[in-house]
Amino acid sequence: MKIDAVQPKKPSKSREYVTTSGLKRNKRFATAAILEDTAYKSPSHGSTESVPSVSETASPVSEEERTQSVMSFSASDCFSPRNLELLNGMYRPKSILKCLIEEEMRISERRRIMFCERPVGSLLGASKSCPYTKHDIKPLAFRSFRKSIRTHILLIYEWLRAWPDYSLLQMEDQVTLLRKCVLYHTVLDPCFITMQIGDMTKFIMQNGGYVSTIDGCDEGWQNEKEISMESKKMIYLPLLERLMPEVVEPMVAMNLSFEEVVALKALVSMQGCKLLLWQI
């Protein structure tokens, strides 16, 4: 990190204003300037190309606040090792899509470890394949799924943390964004797992439990101590009757790739939270 790459603002007669959003933008501009300084350094002469100073692009702030903003960039997820890649001998930020693809692969691995009963050696390894095989899935038990809800929320939270700017949000906004994404992902994740398995007679949830989509078949709909079959079908069957033709079948028809589904989740999350993300 080269603090001297950040040039101080030239004296001005205009009054300086400091806002929270300005400080956030200043932090990101300072970060970008340092990255460009590192990326364009000449190996032979150690010289650097000129980059825009923070004072030329960011909101006016005091020198002390500007320095603190630059010093704090290392705490940002933008510089987390999982968000950097080595290209031509230099570390550069990965694209957002690449970060999310890698995180989605890690989520699949975690699902296998938590919900599959195979030997551990066959569960390890991040890949783009379905977390479950046809032998792993079993009829859905309402009680076991309810107990695993916090696990699914944790996986969605880890997915959100793969976005470099997520850490720049205030805690209240992080929680709001998480709540919205839990809703979207709870719909999209089972649809994609169902597509990956390739059996349209079963709708497969995130934990590998399934309910039958065939009329008259009660697999996954059985009576349980906590809930009856009638209550299950009254609450969840109308949703299932929409998800299969409106989401799962179009996914299959378009033969969406792993990368395309990851991009779809990102776009849906951004569209649903666009008013919140606009404030970053």
pLDDT one digit per residue (tens) for the chain, 280 residues: 556 666 666 555 544 444 455 555 555 544 444 444 444 444 444 444 444 444 444 445 454 544 444 333 333 444 555 666 655 566 566 688 888 999 999 999 999 999 998 888 888 988 899 999 999 999 999 989 999 999 999 999 999 988 877 888 889 888 988 998 999 999 999 999 999 999 999 999 999 999 999 998 999 999 999 899 999 999 999 999 999 999 999 999 999 999 999 999 999 988 766 644 444 4
107-128 CB burial, b ≥16 within 10 A, e <16: bbebbbebbbeeeeeebeeeee
CA 252/CA 210 separation, integer angstroms: 18
CB 191 within 8 A of CB 247: yes
pTM, two decimal places: 0.66
Alpha-carbon torsion (162, 168, 170, 176), positive or negative: negative
CA 250/CA 229 separation, integer angstroms: 29
Tokens of 225: 């101590």
**Amino acid letter at 102?**
E
